[in-house]
Amino acid sequence: MADNQEITGPVSQEDIEAAEKLKNEANEYFKKQNYNSAIEFYSKAIEKNPKNAVFYANRSIANLRLENSGYALTDASKAIELDRSYTKAYYRRAAAHMSLGKYKLALKDFEYVTKVRPNDQDAKMKYNECNKIVKKIAFEKAISVDKKEVNIADTINLDAMTIEDEYEGPALEDGKVTLKFVTELMEFYKQQKKLHKKYAYKILIDVKAYLQKQPTLVDIKVPDEAKFTVCGDIHGQYYDLMNVFKLNGLPSETNPYLFNGDFVDRGSFSVECIFTLFSFKLLFPNHFYMSRGNHETVDMNRMYGFRGEVTSKYTSQMADLFTEVYNWLPLAHCINNRVLVMHGGLFSKDDVTLDDIRKTDRNKQPPEDGIMCELLWSDPQPMAGRAPSRRGVGCQFGPDVTANFLQRNGLDYIIRSHEVKNDGYELAHDGKCITVFSAPNYCDTMGNLGAFITMNGKDLKPNFTTYEAVPHPDVKPMAYANSFFSMLCQ
């Protein structure tokens, strides 16, 4: 955002009044949850009057709603620079820091507010809540150092778990996922019922064992006349996932799928989504593929609901086991040596090859830079070259970066997800960079269509199917999210 330039000269009364009108228009868009338009009008207000801290703080929260945490952080910092006493700007910056997993920096902002406003009970409460999170994370880290040799999967005693007589749900057969099991499970979940913990743990242990043997970059071979489907973010929208299968058929050996990350978080049926997908992975391991997204990570799961949902429906131990499993998800897939699919995007360096991806160690939380980080976090931009990410993680890459990468690696195009698109998909970079997003009316607020891509093995030409959201039970998105973070984002 180029309007964070040095502010010089006085602002005329006329511009001050015009800016105020633009801010009011922006506020109306914000209330209607049209955050892109809100940002546009806050930006126009800033152009007219770049000395008003409120405009930056308001644009910061709009950016936060669009997951542009990097921009949100910059705007909140600008608001603080303009008005050191503006409490709300510190809250905005704290929320941006938290969404980036920088809890200690968030705590510093709260600490400052409590010092300058010692009688502000709200500030004190927020400081205490944030301090609890920082201490909890430090405690978890200390424990994990003590237990670093311990695999949670190895500590689970399935034999000690009994299936109660009153349990009437689907059952594994000889400890294995069958088509009968997964079809019954999907119906069971539609009725908002819970899979028995013994079966849930068994699925996680088996998926982990399978994924550990897989490479970081999985090569997929699709025969000439065969169909292949790629889906983008699902984000815990279970009933929309069911609609994808209704529209496109259940996964099978003749109907293979690749789900391209962000299966969980935000939507409040993430447990149902992930166990359905993992069941299909075990049932059709060579015809059902799953890439890791930026939301298959500890910090995201802690903030955006998945950890809370697993702990509520099962146990915190299971939430820890999910982290172990997610660490082994592949980071990318290559279809017929011609199409590369990853959740986020391309790289801050020019010389990255498919072999570099293959050699990337993935069994960890993503670092803040490098190949793994960028595969999960980067986004395309329309202009050439590269820019810092508006998310504050990864990079933004232009059409020239895409063209060079494809040429270097002998590829036709890339498919990625990671971004809400109004039509559920978007063609960028001369059609060589395709975004697909499969969660319609994201978070029950965005009004976007969902989409998936189908192709055949011969020409790999992408065909797009779009669809609207379907009704779901009255459980709001973010129902299990960290309540403190949700409160900060108000």
Active site residues: 295
Query: Residue 452 forms beta bridges with which residues?
Result: 231, 465
DSSP string, 284-351: STTTEEE---TTSSHHHHHHHSHHHHHHHHS-HHHHHHHHHHHTTS-SEEEETTTEEEESS---SSTT
Q: 462, 490 in Cβ contact below 8 A?
A: no
Conformational region of residue 249, where left means phi above 0, alpha means psi within -120 to 50, and beta covers everything else:
left
63, 104, 135, 224, 239 from 186: Cα distances, Å: 36, 41, 39, 31, 10
Q: 37, 61 in Cβ contact below 8 A?
A: no
* 470 CB-contact burial (10 Å; exposed 0-12 / middle 13-18 / buried 19+): middle
Query: Which helix (DSSP H) or strand (DSSP E) does residue 433 occupy?
Result: strand 433-436
27, 47, 357, 435, 482 from 20: Cα distances, Å: 10, 11, 49, 36, 34
| CA–CA dist 349, 351 (Å, integer) | 6
Phi, psi for 49 (deg, rounded to 5): -140, 90
Strands 332-335 and 288-290: unpaired
Q: 122, 490 in Cβ contact below 8 A?
A: no
Q: 39, 23 in Cβ contact below 8 A?
A: no
CA-based Rg of the chain, rounded to a whole angstrom? 23
Count of Cβ atoms closer than 10 Å to residue 34 Cβ:
18
Strands 386-388 and 395-397: antiparallel
Q: What is the DSSP letter of 236?
A: T
Buried b (16+ CB within 10 A) or exposed e, 449-466: bbbbbbbebeeeebebbb
